[in-house]
Amino acid sequence: MNIKIILEGKIKEPYFKSGVEEFKKRLLNKVEVLEVSDIFEFLKNKSGAYIITLEIEGKMLSSIEFARKLREIETSGEANEILFLIGGAEGLSKEVRDLSDFKFSMSKLTFLHQEATFILIEQIYRAHKILNNEPYHK
């Protein structure tokens, strides 16, 4: 299944950028990271996607639960891709949050959008390893 991380803004810091690139490479470029200026405008051309918004009020999952959630979405056949949406400095707009199929929180802490992108792609990689019974997750 196609997975895209859509973030409002750019990954400016080289250490986040190189970390994201490393996990994209490990995932054999099966995960795209797109930097957009307006997520709502981007979504106007999307249909058939399962939308996961990253929100502080969202549901927190363990790494194993997160892996199961991705598998559940994949096997349901309801979507042709998964879109993870990460807001910029102001967070996600209400109109974007209203489009969410699943509200996900990685922590009660607030992260920079570029930091959240790095953490998320690492968790997607970890989920991939968990689902394939490969060593990485401990």
Instruction: Give the annotated binding-site residues for S-adenosyl-L-methionine.
Output: 54, 87, 106-111
The neighbour count for residue 82, using CB atoms within 10 Å, is 22
CA distance 46 to 6: 12
List binding-site positions. 54, 87, 106-111
- Between β-strands 49-60 and 2-8, what pairing exists: parallel, antiparallel or unpaired? unpaired
CA distance 23 to 93: 28
- Between β-strands 102-105 and 49-60, what pairing exists: parallel, antiparallel or unpaired? parallel
The neighbour count for residue 131, using CB atoms within 10 Å, is 14
